Every structure is written in C-alpha cells, then in structure tokens.
Amino acid sequence: MSRSSYDSARELYAALGVDTETALATLARTPISLHCWQGDDVGGFERAGATLDGGGIQATGNYPGKARTIAELRSDLDAALALIPGRHRLNLHAIYGDFGGKKVDRNAIGVEHFQSWIDWAKQRGLGLDFNPTCFSHPLANDGFTLSHRDAAVRQFWIEHAIACRRIGAAMGQALGTPTVTNVWIPDGHKDLPADRKGPRERLEQSLDAVFKEQIDERVHRDAVECKLFGIGSESYVVGSHEFYLGYAVTRKKMLCLDMGHFHPTESVADKISSVLQFVPGLLLHVSRGVRWDSDHVVLFDDVTKALFEELVRGGFLPRTAIGLDYFDASINRVAAWVIGTRNAQKCLLAALLEPSARLRDLEAAGDHTARLALLEELKTLPLGAIWEEHCRRANVPGDRAWLPTVQRYEREVLALRR
C-alpha cells in the first residue's frame, strides 16, 4: 500500500474529525497477550506426549506440525510475532514450565521453572501473563478443584494457585510490566445438581485463601474468569458469571470476560460498561464461539468490532488487559496466531478510527437518523489503507504478503515434525 493511499485515507477520516496518527499511535502502544496454548493444542510440557484430558476443554483437529517441546513452541511464537505489528505479550499456563524432564507436581512449581521464559521474554521486550492449570490432572478428574468436597483436594489446588500468583509476580518484577494471573476452574456438573450452594461457598473460601497474600499491583494483577458451561459441566458451573462478578466487586479483582463463555445471543460488549462501573479492571479473552465455547480463530467481524468499540467509546483501554484464547488444531497453528491477532488489532483500529465524539453529539441531540447513517457510512471508509500503514511502520508484511512466509516456515520447519 503506497503512502499516497494512506494520505488519501487520512484526509477522508480527518473530514470526520478523526486523527489517524493518534489512532495509529494508540494501536502501536496497545499490547495483545498471545496465548501459548494455540501452538501445541493445550498439551504443555509436564510430561512427554501430554494430551489434553478433562476439565471441559477440547482442541479439535490434527493439522501436522504442532509444537512438541519448549524450543519448538518458542520458534513458532517467534515466527508468528515477526508477522504481527507492534510489541505484545505472551500468556502462559502453568503446565508450560521448563521442568527439565523432572516430575514437578502443580503445587510445587516455582519461579525457577519459568526463568527461561522470563529470559526469553526479556530478550524480545515482551510482557508475560499467567494462569493456574486446574485441569488435565488426576486431582481434577472428577471435574472439581477449588470447590471440591474433599478439603485435601481443595488445599492442593489452593497451593497451586498461590504458587502461580508468586510466579506471576516474579515475572512482572523481572520484566517491568505487571503480569495478569487469571484463575479459571472447570468445576461443575454434567447433570442437574441437588446442591448449588455448597460448591460456591467452598469456592469463595478457597479463593480467599488463594488471594490472602497481598502482592504489589505494580508487578501483578489478579483476575477471575466465569463460564456458562463446559464439556462435562453442561448443567451447572460453580464459577458462574454472577458468582465471579460478585467476587470481583467485593474483593476488588479484575474480571475476565471470555467471548466464548456466554450464551451465543449474549453481547459481551454490552457487559463492559456495566462491569467497569464496579470492578477495578477488566481482562478480555478474545475468542470466537460457534454454537458453543469452541474457541475458533478470531475474525474481523461485527461481534469482535463491537467489543473494541466499547473499550474505545468508554475510555476503558487503560483499565483493560486484552488477551486471546482460542486453539484451532485444524489449520496451521502459526497462521492461526497471526490471523487472530491481526484481526483483533484491526477491530481495535476500526474503533479508534470512529468519530466517537460526533456520534455522541448526534445521540445527545436526539438525531438518531444521522447517527445510524454515519455508522453505516463508516463501514466503507478505507480502513485497510490505515492498517497497511501500521504494518509498514512496524516493518511487518501487510495483508496478502504475510502468508507466504508462514507457508515457507511450514515447509522448512513444521513439516519435519511429522
């Protein structure tokens, strides 16, 4: 895309009162946290040949070339990051530690098992985020962890989550940017339970124990994540939206909203302004559910654009951590990272290029006709020219130019893993 194309687009947006330079500057300084688990189908490195089991999570597909080692995963991440404009973050699950071939149970993990990730991130100027892994473990096989009836099982998962918070704090301290450690658990029932109250009381007590230790928010932030249902928890999830919303409000925690964790007809975008009226911060897991929490690759679609429009219109970007959460094993995994991250960035750019002040003025004046007309006209403005300029400034390939690089990487690297 030539500079003249950008200049022409810039003039069109300026006529609406939009400064494209300001939009590009905001886009460039807004990181997105890439999810490590797209690279290996949520297997992790606790043991060789690990596969996903239990906990209401399922990766589908068998596209060749998935990462089998930490070195392979880091190579794939480097390949993806080289094609994504901007400087971003990496989101790690606890099962992705560098355990050196030794068996380390979840409640015994420490910073030493993630030091090589910290060093890797520091070399690349990346921030890190973190997650306890409360699934794919013998003590999660019955579908319950922090809300388990057995106090010993609960204590194991409490110790795991405490260890994860300390690891997250060490990451934030070392990298100079606060780590968001997000707690999600799979606890729930496949069929209708007789007792909905008890597990939620136990979960509240467990979370209070997990968060008892005070950690400086300049290096670490806590988040809690809800879910409508999961595989094996179709009828009842202990950590529902209502539960975690109440917990986040009363304990001053970040609330994680995952786009795949609600009913298909619910608007996650509509929840943002309500939630941020009462909680200190928001963690977004940008995903795409198709009929269920299927975690398809993020698209440049109306649902995702609406999410970022709310963040920009409400001035919520400074209070929001943006992460991705999908795992598609049916396509090239590196391409999945690139497509999903670039689409999330495009949705943010579209929101930044919206003449929000003008739209609000029309609404305040009661001119809903002009509001609708302007919103529709915005859809055909040359956002693509602004996006290509963003890629040019970041020295990464634009659209229609990045895929050959991934295809070459597949031939030269991924294909050899069969």
pLDDT at 50: 54
225 counts as catalytic: yes
**Catalytic status, residue 295:** yes
**Is 184 designated active site?**
yes
**Averaged pLDDT score across all residues of the chain:** 96
78 is catalytic: no
Catalytic one of 148, 160, 189, 285: 285
Among the options 225, 310, 354, 389, which is catalytic?
225
Predicted TM-score (pTM) of the model is 0.96
The residue whose two tokens read 């100027």 is: 125
- Name the catalytic one among 148, 189, 227, 305: 227
Quick check: is 305 catalytic?
no
Residue of 325, 354, 388, 389 marked catalytic = 325
Question: What is the reported pLDDT for 418?
Answer: 79
List of residues 6+ apart from 12 with CB closer than 8 A: 381, 382
Of 204, 258, 309, 310, catalytic: 258
- Of these residues, 120, 157, 184, 337, which one is catalytic? 184
For the question of residue 148 being annotated catalytic, the response is no
309 as an active site residue: the answer is no
Residue with the two structure tokens 């795949």: 260
Beta bridge mates, 182: 223
Among left, alpha and beta (phi > 0; psi -120 to 50; other), residue 95 is: alpha
User: Exactly one of 76, 295, 354, 388 is catalytic; which is it?
Assistant: 295
Question: Residue range 402-418: average pLDDT?
Answer: 96
Q: How confident is the model at residue 231 (pLDDT cuts 50, 70, 90)?
A: confident
Please tell me the predicted confidence (pLDDT) of residue 374.
97
Q: Rounded to whole angstroms, what are the CA distances from 25 to 21, 28, 117, 353?
A: 6, 5, 29, 12
pLDDT at 58 over 80: no
**Angstrom distance (rounded) from CA 131 to CA 134:** 9
For residue 358, what are the contacts with CB-CB under 8 A and spacing of at least 6?
16, 17, 374
Give the pLDDT band of residue 244 (cuts 50, 70, 90): very high
Residue 81: give the domain boundaries.
3-417
Residue 317 sits in a domain of what CATH number? 3.20.20.150
> Catalytic pick from 88, 261, 346, 390?
261
Helices (H) and strands (E) in the chain, counts: 14, 10
Query: One of 41, 76, 187, 293 is an active-site residue; which one?
Result: 293
Q: Please write down the long-range contacts of 365-370, taking CB distance under 8 Å and 24 or more positions apart.
A: none
Number of domains making up the chain = 1
Asked if pLDDT for residue 48 goes beyond 70, the answer is: no
* 52 band by pLDDT with thresholds 50, 70 and 90: low
- Determine whether 293 is an active site residue: yes
Q: Based on the residue annotation, tell me whether 325 is a catalytic residue of this protein.
A: yes
